[in-house]
Structure 1
Protein backbone atom coordinates (compact mmCIF):
# COMPACT_ATOMS: atom_id res chain seq x y z
CA UNK A 1 0.00 0.00 0.00
CA UNK A 2 1.30 3.46 -0.96
CA UNK A 3 1.64 6.15 1.73
CA UNK A 4 1.22 9.81 0.77
CA UNK A 5 2.96 11.32 3.81
CA UNK A 6 3.65 10.81 7.49
CA UNK A 7 7.37 9.93 7.34
CA UNK A 8 9.63 10.44 10.41
CA UNK A 9 11.40 13.78 10.13
CA UNK A 10 9.29 15.04 7.24
CA UNK A 11 8.46 18.70 6.63
CA UNK A 12 5.27 19.51 4.74
CA UNK A 13 3.62 22.88 4.11
CA UNK A 14 0.31 23.51 2.35
CA UNK A 15 -0.94 27.02 1.64
CA UNK A 16 -4.70 27.47 2.19
CA UNK A 17 -6.37 27.62 -1.21
CA UNK A 18 -8.01 31.05 -0.65
CA UNK A 19 -4.50 32.43 -0.03
CA UNK A 20 -3.28 30.74 -3.20
CA UNK A 21 -6.05 32.44 -5.17
CA UNK A 22 -5.14 35.79 -3.64
CA UNK A 23 -1.42 35.29 -4.35
CA UNK A 24 -2.10 34.42 -7.99
CA UNK A 25 -3.91 37.73 -8.37
CA UNK A 26 -1.37 39.84 -6.47
CA UNK A 27 1.46 41.79 -8.17
CA UNK A 28 4.80 40.27 -7.23
CA UNK A 29 3.51 36.73 -6.74
CA UNK A 30 1.20 36.23 -9.72
CA UNK A 31 4.16 35.12 -11.88
CA UNK A 32 4.86 32.04 -9.72
CA UNK A 33 3.28 30.83 -6.49
CA UNK A 34 4.31 27.87 -4.35
CA UNK A 35 1.15 26.14 -3.16
CA UNK A 36 2.75 23.15 -1.37
CA UNK A 37 6.29 22.16 -0.44
CA UNK A 38 8.14 19.69 1.71
CA UNK A 39 10.87 17.23 2.52
CA UNK A 40 10.40 13.45 2.89
CA UNK A 41 13.48 11.61 4.23
CA UNK A 42 13.79 7.90 3.40
CA UNK A 43 10.13 7.78 2.38
CA UNK A 44 9.55 4.04 2.57
CA UNK A 45 6.34 2.91 0.81
CA UNK A 46 5.76 6.48 -0.35
CA UNK A 47 3.58 6.90 -3.39
CA UNK A 48 0.66 8.76 -4.90
CA UNK A 49 -1.69 8.36 -7.86
CA UNK A 50 -3.46 11.32 -9.49
CA UNK A 51 -5.58 10.01 -12.34
CA UNK A 52 -6.50 13.53 -13.46
CA UNK A 53 -3.23 15.23 -12.54
CA UNK A 54 -2.85 18.27 -10.30
CA UNK A 55 -3.74 21.94 -10.98
CA UNK A 56 -0.09 22.88 -10.36
CA UNK A 57 3.22 21.67 -11.76
CA UNK A 58 4.98 19.27 -9.37
CA UNK A 59 8.75 19.42 -8.90
CA UNK A 60 10.36 16.48 -7.07
CA UNK A 61 14.10 16.33 -6.38
CA UNK A 62 15.53 12.94 -5.41
CA UNK A 63 18.66 13.28 -3.24
CA UNK A 64 19.01 9.70 -2.04
CA UNK A 65 17.67 6.27 -2.92
CA UNK A 66 15.50 5.44 -5.90
CA UNK A 67 11.92 5.56 -7.09
CA UNK A 68 9.73 5.69 -10.15
CA UNK A 69 7.33 8.05 -11.87
CA UNK A 70 4.62 7.25 -14.39
CA UNK A 71 3.63 10.35 -16.33
CA UNK A 72 1.02 10.34 -19.11
CA UNK A 73 1.20 6.56 -19.27
CA UNK A 74 5.00 6.19 -19.49
CA UNK A 75 7.03 4.84 -16.58
CA UNK A 76 10.43 6.34 -15.69
CA UNK A 77 13.00 5.24 -13.11
CA UNK A 78 14.31 7.97 -10.81
CA UNK A 79 17.55 7.98 -8.82
CA UNK A 80 19.57 10.34 -6.62
CA UNK A 81 20.61 13.50 -8.46
CA UNK A 82 17.54 13.61 -10.67
CA UNK A 83 14.46 15.84 -10.75
CA UNK A 84 10.93 15.02 -11.88
CA UNK A 85 8.82 17.89 -13.20
CA UNK A 86 5.19 17.00 -13.92
CA UNK A 87 3.17 19.55 -15.91
CA UNK A 88 -0.25 20.66 -14.61
CA UNK A 89 -3.34 18.58 -15.36
CA UNK A 90 -1.19 15.59 -16.40
CA UNK A 91 -2.19 12.12 -15.13
CA UNK A 92 0.61 10.65 -13.08
CA UNK A 93 1.73 8.36 -10.30
CA UNK A 94 5.01 7.99 -8.45
CA UNK A 95 6.50 5.97 -5.67
CA UNK A 96 9.61 4.94 -3.74
CA UNK A 97 11.72 1.90 -4.55
CA UNK A 98 10.92 -0.98 -2.18
CA UNK A 99 14.55 -1.78 -1.35
CA UNK A 100 16.15 1.68 -1.48
CA UNK A 101 13.41 4.26 -0.81
CA UNK A 102 14.06 7.76 -1.99
CA UNK A 103 14.58 10.99 -0.04
CA UNK A 104 12.76 13.91 -1.63
CA UNK A 105 12.53 17.69 -1.63
CA UNK A 106 9.41 18.77 -3.47
CA UNK A 107 7.08 21.66 -4.29
CA UNK A 108 3.97 22.48 -6.29
CA UNK A 109 4.00 25.71 -8.34
CA UNK A 110 1.43 27.68 -10.32
CA UNK A 111 1.40 31.09 -12.00
CA UNK A 112 1.46 32.87 -15.30
CA UNK A 113 5.21 32.29 -15.90
CA UNK A 114 4.98 28.52 -15.34
CA UNK A 115 4.15 27.50 -18.92
CA UNK A 116 7.07 29.53 -20.28
CA UNK A 117 9.46 28.00 -17.75
CA UNK A 118 8.43 24.44 -18.64
CA UNK A 119 8.73 25.17 -22.36
CA UNK A 120 12.19 26.72 -22.01
CA UNK A 121 13.42 23.93 -19.74
CA UNK A 122 12.11 21.29 -22.14
CA UNK A 123 10.32 19.54 -19.30
CA UNK A 124 7.24 17.86 -20.75
CA UNK A 125 4.96 14.94 -19.99
CA UNK A 126 7.04 12.90 -22.44
CA UNK A 127 10.36 13.92 -20.82
CA UNK A 128 9.68 14.71 -17.14
CA UNK A 129 12.94 13.40 -15.62
CA UNK A 130 16.19 15.36 -15.78
CA UNK A 131 19.70 14.62 -14.51
CA UNK A 132 20.86 17.63 -12.47
CA UNK A 133 24.34 19.06 -12.85
CA UNK A 134 24.01 21.16 -9.68
CA UNK A 135 21.93 19.15 -7.23
CA UNK A 136 23.21 21.14 -4.25
CA UNK A 137 21.90 24.46 -5.56
CA UNK A 138 18.55 23.00 -6.54
CA UNK A 139 18.08 21.46 -3.09
CA UNK A 140 19.12 24.71 -1.41
CA UNK A 141 16.44 26.60 -3.34
CA UNK A 142 13.70 24.09 -2.46
CA UNK A 143 14.79 24.28 1.17
CA UNK A 144 14.63 28.07 0.95
CA UNK A 145 11.01 27.72 -0.19
CA UNK A 146 10.21 25.37 2.71
CA UNK A 147 11.83 27.67 5.26
CA UNK A 148 9.88 30.68 3.98
CA UNK A 149 6.60 28.77 4.21
CA UNK A 150 7.47 27.50 7.69
CA UNK A 151 7.92 31.06 8.99
CA UNK A 152 4.33 32.16 8.42
CA UNK A 153 1.88 32.95 5.63
CA UNK A 154 2.41 36.69 5.45
CA UNK A 155 2.84 38.42 2.09
CA UNK A 156 6.57 38.71 2.81
CA UNK A 157 6.95 34.94 3.28
CA UNK A 158 4.85 34.16 0.21
CA UNK A 159 7.06 36.53 -1.79
CA UNK A 160 10.21 34.90 -0.46
CA UNK A 161 8.95 31.43 -1.41
CA UNK A 162 7.91 32.68 -4.86
CA UNK A 163 11.32 34.26 -5.43
CA UNK A 164 13.18 31.06 -4.53
CA UNK A 165 10.86 29.01 -6.76
CA UNK A 166 11.37 31.45 -9.66
CA UNK A 167 15.14 31.07 -9.21
CA UNK A 168 14.76 27.29 -9.14
CA UNK A 169 12.77 27.19 -12.38
CA UNK A 170 15.25 29.54 -14.04
CA UNK A 171 18.07 27.22 -12.95
CA UNK A 172 16.30 24.24 -14.53
CA UNK A 173 16.02 26.26 -17.74
CA UNK A 174 19.70 27.25 -17.70
CA UNK A 175 20.80 23.62 -17.24
CA UNK A 176 19.25 22.80 -20.61
CA UNK A 177 21.23 25.44 -22.51
CA UNK A 178 24.24 23.96 -24.31
CA UNK A 179 27.55 25.40 -23.24
CA UNK A 180 26.45 26.52 -19.79
CA UNK A 181 29.61 26.43 -17.62
CA UNK A 182 29.46 23.60 -15.10
CA UNK A 183 30.52 24.24 -11.53
CA UNK A 184 32.78 21.48 -10.21
CA UNK A 185 31.28 18.89 -7.89
CA UNK A 186 33.60 20.04 -5.09
CA UNK A 187 32.57 23.71 -5.48
CA UNK A 188 28.96 22.58 -5.32
CA UNK A 189 29.68 20.52 -2.20
CA UNK A 190 31.35 23.50 -0.51
CA UNK A 191 28.33 25.67 -1.32
CA UNK A 192 26.03 22.97 0.06
CA UNK A 193 28.01 22.75 3.29
CA UNK A 194 27.93 26.55 3.67
CA UNK A 195 24.16 26.51 3.25
CA UNK A 196 23.71 23.63 5.74
CA UNK A 197 26.11 24.67 8.48
CA UNK A 198 23.88 23.47 11.31
CA UNK A 199 23.25 20.01 9.82
CA UNK A 200 25.58 17.03 10.11
CA UNK A 201 26.11 16.07 6.48
CA UNK A 202 27.81 12.73 5.76
CA UNK A 203 30.46 12.10 3.13
CA UNK A 204 28.21 9.41 1.66
CA UNK A 205 25.42 11.95 1.18
CA UNK A 206 27.71 14.51 -0.45
CA UNK A 207 29.23 11.83 -2.69
CA UNK A 208 25.80 10.63 -3.81
CA UNK A 209 24.78 14.17 -4.76
CA UNK A 210 28.05 14.57 -6.69
CA UNK A 211 27.54 11.16 -8.32
CA UNK A 212 30.98 9.99 -7.14
CA UNK A 213 32.10 7.15 -4.90
CA UNK A 214 32.68 8.28 -1.28
CA UNK A 215 36.41 7.54 -1.49
CA UNK A 216 36.84 9.41 -4.79
CA UNK A 217 34.78 12.34 -3.52
CA UNK A 218 36.73 12.57 -0.24
CA UNK A 219 40.06 12.45 -2.10
CA UNK A 220 39.00 15.17 -4.56
CA UNK A 221 37.64 17.34 -1.75
CA UNK A 222 40.87 17.14 0.24
CA UNK A 223 42.95 17.72 -2.88
CA UNK A 224 41.05 20.92 -3.72
CA UNK A 225 40.45 22.30 -0.23
CA UNK A 226 43.24 20.80 1.89
CA UNK A 227 40.67 19.47 4.33
CA UNK A 228 38.20 16.63 4.74
CA UNK A 229 34.52 17.52 4.15
CA UNK A 230 33.66 17.12 7.84
CA UNK A 231 36.63 19.18 8.98
CA UNK A 232 35.66 21.83 6.43
CA UNK A 233 32.15 21.94 7.89
CA UNK A 234 33.58 22.16 11.42
CA UNK A 235 35.54 25.25 10.41
CA UNK A 236 32.40 26.77 8.89
CA UNK A 237 30.54 26.15 12.13
CA UNK A 238 33.34 27.64 14.21
CA UNK A 239 33.41 30.72 11.98
CA UNK A 240 29.70 31.21 12.57
CA UNK A 241 30.15 30.58 16.31
CA UNK A 242 32.93 33.18 16.43
CA UNK A 243 30.59 35.70 14.82
CA UNK A 244 27.83 34.98 17.36
CA UNK A 245 30.28 35.29 20.25
CA UNK A 246 31.48 38.64 18.87
CA UNK A 247 28.16 40.32 18.15
CA UNK A 248 25.71 38.80 20.67
CA UNK A 249 25.49 38.08 24.37
CA UNK A 250 24.08 34.60 23.83
CA UNK A 251 25.13 31.92 26.29
CA UNK A 252 27.71 29.46 24.98
CA UNK A 253 25.10 26.67 25.10
CA UNK A 254 22.82 28.72 22.85
CA UNK A 255 25.66 29.53 20.45
CA UNK A 256 26.44 25.81 20.30
CA UNK A 257 22.84 25.03 19.41
CA UNK A 258 22.75 27.79 16.77
CA UNK A 259 25.66 26.19 14.92
CA UNK A 260 24.39 22.62 15.13
CA UNK A 261 25.78 21.18 18.38
CA UNK A 262 23.44 19.64 20.94
CA UNK A 263 26.28 19.10 23.45
CA UNK A 264 27.82 22.44 24.55
CA UNK A 265 30.83 20.67 26.09
CA UNK A 266 31.66 18.94 22.81
CA UNK A 267 31.15 22.28 21.04
CA UNK A 268 33.64 23.94 23.41
CA UNK A 269 36.23 21.23 22.73
CA UNK A 270 35.77 21.64 18.98
CA UNK A 271 36.00 25.42 19.29
CA UNK A 272 39.24 25.17 21.26
CA UNK A 273 40.72 22.71 18.75
CA UNK A 274 40.18 25.32 16.01
CA UNK A 275 40.87 28.57 17.87
CA UNK A 276 43.21 27.49 20.65
CA UNK A 277 40.96 28.98 23.35
CA UNK A 278 37.55 28.16 24.81
CA UNK A 279 34.47 30.12 23.66
CA UNK A 280 34.42 32.11 26.92
CA UNK A 281 38.12 32.93 26.64
CA UNK A 282 37.62 34.00 23.04
CA UNK A 283 34.72 36.26 24.04
CA UNK A 284 36.91 37.93 26.66
CA UNK A 285 39.68 38.80 24.21
CA UNK A 286 40.13 42.33 22.90
CA UNK A 287 39.36 42.53 19.18
CA UNK A 288 39.39 45.13 16.48
Structure 2
Protein backbone atom coordinates (compact mmCIF):
# COMPACT_ATOMS: atom_id res chain seq x y z
CA UNK A 1 0.00 0.00 0.00
CA UNK A 2 1.35 3.42 -0.89
CA UNK A 3 2.42 5.61 2.01
CA UNK A 4 1.38 8.65 -0.04
CA UNK A 5 -2.32 7.97 -0.34
CA UNK A 6 -4.60 5.63 1.64
CA UNK A 7 -7.02 5.10 -1.25
CA UNK A 8 -4.76 3.82 -4.03
CA UNK A 9 -2.22 1.02 -3.90
CA UNK A 10 0.48 1.69 -6.45
CA UNK A 11 2.45 -1.48 -5.78
CA UNK A 12 0.62 -3.39 -8.52
CA UNK A 13 -0.30 -0.45 -10.75
CA UNK A 14 0.02 -1.48 -14.41
CA UNK A 15 -0.97 0.10 -17.71
CA UNK A 16 -2.89 -2.19 -20.03
CA UNK A 17 -3.96 -2.14 -23.66
CA UNK A 18 -5.35 -0.02 -25.31
CA UNK A 19 -4.26 3.59 -24.72
CA UNK A 20 -4.53 6.47 -27.14
CA UNK A 21 -6.04 9.78 -28.19
CA UNK A 22 -9.22 10.09 -30.24
CA UNK A 23 -11.21 12.73 -32.08
CA UNK A 24 -14.73 11.40 -32.49
CA UNK A 25 -16.41 11.32 -35.88
CA UNK A 26 -20.02 12.51 -36.27
CA UNK A 27 -22.37 9.87 -34.95
CA UNK A 28 -19.69 8.21 -32.79
CA UNK A 29 -20.85 6.67 -29.55
CA UNK A 30 -19.81 4.33 -26.75
CA UNK A 31 -22.55 1.74 -26.28
CA UNK A 32 -23.71 -0.30 -23.29
CA UNK A 33 -21.96 -3.43 -24.55
CA UNK A 34 -18.59 -1.66 -24.41
CA UNK A 35 -19.19 -0.63 -20.79
CA UNK A 36 -20.20 -4.13 -19.74
CA UNK A 37 -17.12 -5.59 -21.46
CA UNK A 38 -14.73 -3.40 -19.43
CA UNK A 39 -12.37 -5.66 -17.44
CA UNK A 40 -9.94 -3.06 -16.09
CA UNK A 41 -9.96 0.64 -15.21
CA UNK A 42 -10.15 3.22 -17.98
CA UNK A 43 -9.30 6.90 -17.57
CA UNK A 44 -10.75 9.45 -19.98
CA UNK A 45 -9.59 13.06 -20.20
CA UNK A 46 -11.59 15.32 -22.50
CA UNK A 47 -9.34 17.93 -24.14
CA UNK A 48 -11.63 19.25 -26.86
CA UNK A 49 -15.15 19.42 -28.24
CA UNK A 50 -18.41 18.48 -26.57
CA UNK A 51 -20.31 15.30 -25.80
CA UNK A 52 -22.22 13.45 -23.12
CA UNK A 53 -21.86 10.43 -20.84
CA UNK A 54 -24.66 8.57 -19.05
CA UNK A 55 -23.84 6.62 -15.88
CA UNK A 56 -25.41 3.67 -14.04
CA UNK A 57 -27.84 6.01 -12.26
CA UNK A 58 -29.07 7.29 -15.63
CA UNK A 59 -27.49 10.67 -14.89
CA UNK A 60 -26.11 12.49 -17.93
CA UNK A 61 -22.78 14.32 -17.65
CA UNK A 62 -21.68 17.00 -20.10
CA UNK A 63 -18.34 16.13 -21.70
CA UNK A 64 -16.20 19.23 -22.22
CA UNK A 65 -12.51 20.10 -21.88
CA UNK A 66 -11.36 19.30 -18.35
CA UNK A 67 -13.90 16.53 -17.74
CA UNK A 68 -12.31 13.31 -16.53
CA UNK A 69 -13.97 9.91 -16.08
CA UNK A 70 -12.40 7.12 -14.00
CA UNK A 71 -14.30 4.12 -15.34
CA UNK A 72 -14.17 0.68 -13.77
CA UNK A 73 -15.66 -2.82 -14.28
CA UNK A 74 -19.36 -3.01 -13.57
CA UNK A 75 -20.07 0.63 -14.37
CA UNK A 76 -22.22 2.09 -17.12
CA UNK A 77 -20.58 4.72 -19.33
CA UNK A 78 -22.68 5.25 -22.43
CA UNK A 79 -21.29 8.23 -24.34
CA UNK A 80 -21.68 10.25 -27.51
CA UNK A 81 -20.29 13.30 -29.29
CA UNK A 82 -21.60 16.60 -30.56
CA UNK A 83 -21.73 16.59 -34.35
CA UNK A 84 -20.79 20.27 -34.53
CA UNK A 85 -18.00 20.15 -31.90
CA UNK A 86 -16.42 16.68 -32.19
CA UNK A 87 -15.29 15.23 -28.88
CA UNK A 88 -11.54 14.90 -28.35
CA UNK A 89 -10.17 12.78 -25.51
CA UNK A 90 -7.28 10.64 -24.34
CA UNK A 91 -7.90 7.21 -22.81
CA UNK A 92 -5.68 5.01 -20.66
CA UNK A 93 -6.45 1.50 -19.43
CA UNK A 94 -4.83 0.37 -16.18
CA UNK A 95 -5.13 -2.05 -13.28
CA UNK A 96 -4.42 -1.62 -9.59
CA UNK A 97 -5.66 -2.33 -6.07
CA UNK A 98 -8.00 0.17 -4.44
CA UNK A 99 -8.93 -0.07 -0.77
CA UNK A 100 -11.98 2.15 -1.33
CA UNK A 101 -13.93 3.05 -4.45
CA UNK A 102 -12.59 6.31 -5.98
CA UNK A 103 -15.12 8.74 -7.51
CA UNK A 104 -15.99 8.15 -11.15
CA UNK A 105 -16.21 11.71 -12.47
CA UNK A 106 -13.95 14.70 -11.99
CA UNK A 107 -13.35 18.15 -13.37
CA UNK A 108 -9.58 18.60 -13.36
CA UNK A 109 -8.23 21.77 -11.78
CA UNK A 110 -5.14 21.89 -14.02
CA UNK A 111 -5.99 20.72 -17.53
CA UNK A 112 -2.54 21.67 -18.85
CA UNK A 113 -0.82 19.28 -16.41
CA UNK A 114 -3.28 16.41 -16.84
CA UNK A 115 -3.32 16.75 -20.62
CA UNK A 116 0.48 16.81 -20.84
CA UNK A 117 0.88 13.87 -18.46
CA UNK A 118 -1.66 11.66 -20.24
CA UNK A 119 -0.15 12.46 -23.65
CA UNK A 120 3.32 11.55 -22.37
CA UNK A 121 1.97 8.25 -21.03
CA UNK A 122 0.46 7.42 -24.42
CA UNK A 123 3.63 8.41 -26.29
CA UNK A 124 5.70 6.19 -24.01
CA UNK A 125 3.38 3.23 -24.56
CA UNK A 126 3.34 3.81 -28.33
CA UNK A 127 7.12 3.31 -28.38
CA UNK A 128 6.80 -0.18 -26.87
CA UNK A 129 6.94 -3.05 -29.37
CA UNK A 130 3.62 -4.91 -29.79
CA UNK A 131 4.95 -8.29 -28.61
CA UNK A 132 6.29 -6.77 -25.38
CA UNK A 133 3.58 -4.15 -24.87
CA UNK A 134 2.38 -5.16 -21.43
CA UNK A 135 5.82 -5.93 -20.08
CA UNK A 136 7.24 -2.66 -21.40
CA UNK A 137 4.39 -0.67 -19.89
CA UNK A 138 4.88 -2.22 -16.45
CA UNK A 139 8.67 -1.92 -16.59
CA UNK A 140 8.77 1.81 -17.38
CA UNK A 141 9.03 3.64 -14.02
CA UNK A 142 8.60 7.10 -15.56
CA UNK A 143 5.34 6.11 -17.27
CA UNK A 144 3.88 4.60 -14.11
CA UNK A 145 5.00 7.62 -12.08
CA UNK A 146 3.12 9.90 -14.47
CA UNK A 147 -0.03 7.81 -14.12
CA UNK A 148 0.37 7.81 -10.35
CA UNK A 149 0.69 11.61 -10.39
CA UNK A 150 -2.47 11.96 -12.49
CA UNK A 151 -4.47 9.68 -10.19
CA UNK A 152 -3.27 11.43 -7.05
CA UNK A 153 -4.06 14.81 -8.55
CA UNK A 154 -7.60 13.66 -9.31
CA UNK A 155 -8.12 12.23 -5.83
CA UNK A 156 -6.81 15.33 -4.06
CA UNK A 157 -8.51 17.99 -6.19
CA UNK A 158 -12.20 18.69 -5.50
CA UNK A 159 -14.40 19.29 -8.51
CA UNK A 160 -14.70 22.94 -9.42
CA UNK A 161 -18.25 24.22 -9.33
CA UNK A 162 -17.75 27.93 -9.98
CA UNK A 163 -16.90 28.05 -13.68
CA UNK A 164 -17.04 31.57 -15.08
CA UNK A 165 -19.06 32.35 -18.20
CA UNK A 166 -15.98 32.05 -20.45
CA UNK A 167 -14.19 29.24 -18.59
CA UNK A 168 -15.12 26.40 -20.93
CA UNK A 169 -14.27 28.37 -24.07
CA UNK A 170 -10.89 29.47 -22.68
CA UNK A 171 -10.04 25.91 -21.65
CA UNK A 172 -11.00 24.64 -25.10
CA UNK A 173 -8.84 27.24 -26.86
CA UNK A 174 -5.86 26.42 -24.64
CA UNK A 175 -6.27 22.70 -25.34
CA UNK A 176 -6.41 23.41 -29.08
CA UNK A 177 -3.15 25.39 -28.85
CA UNK A 178 -1.42 22.48 -27.15
CA UNK A 179 -2.74 19.87 -29.57
CA UNK A 180 -2.18 21.98 -32.68
CA UNK A 181 0.66 24.41 -31.90
CA UNK A 182 1.08 25.12 -35.63
CA UNK A 183 -2.38 26.69 -35.82
CA UNK A 184 -2.31 30.22 -37.22
CA UNK A 185 -5.59 31.37 -35.67
CA UNK A 186 -5.13 34.95 -34.50
CA UNK A 187 -5.80 36.45 -31.08
CA UNK A 188 -8.43 38.65 -32.74
CA UNK A 189 -10.23 35.59 -34.13
CA UNK A 190 -10.16 33.79 -30.77
CA UNK A 191 -11.54 36.91 -29.10
CA UNK A 192 -14.27 37.18 -31.71
CA UNK A 193 -15.23 33.54 -31.17
CA UNK A 194 -15.54 34.32 -27.46
CA UNK A 195 -17.56 37.47 -28.12
CA UNK A 196 -15.14 39.88 -26.43
CA UNK A 197 -12.50 42.38 -27.50
CA UNK A 198 -8.94 41.23 -28.13
CA UNK A 199 -7.69 43.17 -25.09
CA UNK A 200 -10.34 41.66 -22.81
CA UNK A 201 -9.67 38.19 -24.19
CA UNK A 202 -5.96 38.54 -23.42
CA UNK A 203 -6.75 39.63 -19.85
CA UNK A 204 -9.12 36.69 -19.33
CA UNK A 205 -6.59 34.26 -20.77
CA UNK A 206 -3.74 35.56 -18.61
CA UNK A 207 -5.92 35.40 -15.48
CA UNK A 208 -6.78 31.77 -16.24
CA UNK A 209 -3.39 30.43 -17.41
CA UNK A 210 -0.80 32.90 -16.14
CA UNK A 211 0.43 33.67 -19.67
CA UNK A 212 -0.75 35.76 -22.58
CA UNK A 213 -2.28 33.78 -25.48
CA UNK A 214 0.85 34.34 -27.56
CA UNK A 215 3.17 33.23 -24.75
CA UNK A 216 1.03 30.13 -24.25
CA UNK A 217 1.17 29.29 -27.97
CA UNK A 218 4.95 29.72 -28.08
CA UNK A 219 5.38 27.55 -24.97
CA UNK A 220 3.25 24.84 -26.63
CA UNK A 221 5.40 25.02 -29.76
CA UNK A 222 8.66 24.78 -27.83
CA UNK A 223 7.33 21.86 -25.80
CA UNK A 224 6.34 20.02 -28.99
CA UNK A 225 9.66 20.94 -30.61
CA UNK A 226 11.58 19.37 -27.71
CA UNK A 227 9.57 16.20 -28.12
CA UNK A 228 10.16 16.07 -31.89
CA UNK A 229 13.89 16.70 -31.51
CA UNK A 230 14.17 13.94 -28.94
CA UNK A 231 11.86 11.32 -30.43
CA UNK A 232 11.88 11.88 -34.21
CA UNK A 233 14.52 12.01 -36.93
CA UNK A 234 12.93 15.02 -38.66
CA UNK A 235 15.31 17.70 -39.88
CA UNK A 236 15.18 21.01 -38.01
CA UNK A 237 13.63 22.65 -41.08
CA UNK A 238 10.87 20.02 -41.13
CA UNK A 239 10.10 20.54 -37.44
CA UNK A 240 9.95 24.30 -38.03
CA UNK A 241 7.42 23.71 -40.80
CA UNK A 242 5.34 21.30 -38.68
CA UNK A 243 5.12 23.88 -35.90
CA UNK A 244 4.07 26.76 -38.12
CA UNK A 245 7.30 28.78 -38.25
CA UNK A 246 8.12 30.79 -41.36
CA UNK A 247 11.51 29.11 -41.67
CA UNK A 248 14.17 27.19 -39.74
CA UNK A 249 15.96 30.42 -38.77
CA UNK A 250 12.90 31.85 -37.00
CA UNK A 251 12.33 28.53 -35.24
CA UNK A 252 15.96 28.18 -34.13
CA UNK A 253 16.06 31.75 -32.83
CA UNK A 254 12.93 31.33 -30.69
CA UNK A 255 13.95 27.86 -29.52
CA UNK A 256 17.30 29.20 -28.29
CA UNK A 257 15.59 32.12 -26.53
CA UNK A 258 13.51 29.65 -24.51
CA UNK A 259 15.96 26.80 -23.92
CA UNK A 260 19.36 28.45 -24.14
CA UNK A 261 20.42 25.97 -26.83
CA UNK A 262 19.99 25.64 -30.56
CA UNK A 263 17.70 22.83 -31.78
CA UNK A 264 20.73 20.86 -33.01
CA UNK A 265 22.53 21.23 -29.69
CA UNK A 266 19.39 20.19 -27.81
CA UNK A 267 19.02 17.07 -29.97
CA UNK A 268 22.68 16.16 -29.50
CA UNK A 269 22.28 16.47 -25.73
CA UNK A 270 19.37 13.99 -25.77
CA UNK A 271 21.26 11.25 -27.60
Q: TM-score, normalised by structure 2?
A: 0.60
Deviation at 1:54, TM superposition (A): 0.7
Q: State yes or no: 1:47 paired with 2:32.
A: no
CA pair 273-48 structure 1, distance change in 2 beyond 3 A: closer
Deviation at 1:214, TM superposition (A): 7.6
Deviation at 1:83, TM superposition (A): 1.2
Q: What's the CA shift string for 1:143-186, capped at 9, x where partnerless?
A: 111101111145454424333222211111111399xxxxxx9x
Deviation at 1:129, TM superposition (A): 2.7
SS for the counterpart of 1:219 is helix
Q: Select which of 20, 32, 39 maps to 2:14.
A: 32
1:169 is aligned to: 151
CA pair 44-254 structure 1, distance change in 2 beyond 3 A: same
Give the conservation status (yes or no) of the 8 Å contact 1:38–1:106: yes
* Structure of higher CA gyration radius: 1
- In structure 2, what is the Cα distance between the partners aligned to 1:143 and 1:272? 27
Q: State yes or no: 1:68 paired with 2:52.
A: yes
**Unmatched tracts of structure 2, length 5 or more:** 1-9, 161-166, 265-271
1:229 is aligned to: 213
**Unmatched tracts of structure 1, length 5 or more:** 1-27, 179-184, 284-288
Q: State yes or no: 1:255 paired with 2:236.
A: yes
Deviation at 1:258, TM superposition (A): 4.0
CA pair 148-96 structure 1, distance change in 2 beyond 3 A: same
Q: State yes or no: 1:107 paired with 2:92.
A: yes
Number of matched pairs: 220
- In structure 2, what is the Cα distance between the partners aligned to 1:275 and 1:232? 17
- In structure 2, what is the Cα distance between the partners aligned to 1:176 and 1:165? 18
Deviation at 1:55, TM superposition (A): 0.8
Matches within 5 A, 1:90-239: 90-112=75-97, 115-116=98-99, 119=101, 121=102, 123=103, 128-153=104-129, 154=132, 155-158=135-138, 159=140, 160-176=142-158, 199-200=181-182, 216-221=200-205, 228-231=212-215, 233-234=217-218
Deviation at 1:197, TM superposition (A): 9.5
SS for the counterpart of 1:176 is coil
2:4 is aligned to: none
SS for the counterpart of 2:181 is coil
SS for the counterpart of 1:69 is strand
Give the conservation status (yes or no) of the 8 Å contact 2:53–2:77: yes
1:89 is aligned to: 74
Deviation at 1:84, TM superposition (A): 1.8
- In structure 2, what is the Cα distance between the partners aligned to 1:103 and 1:282? 30
Q: What's the CA shift string for 1:92-133, capped at 9, x where partnerless?
A: 321112333211111122122xx24x73x4x1xxxx332221
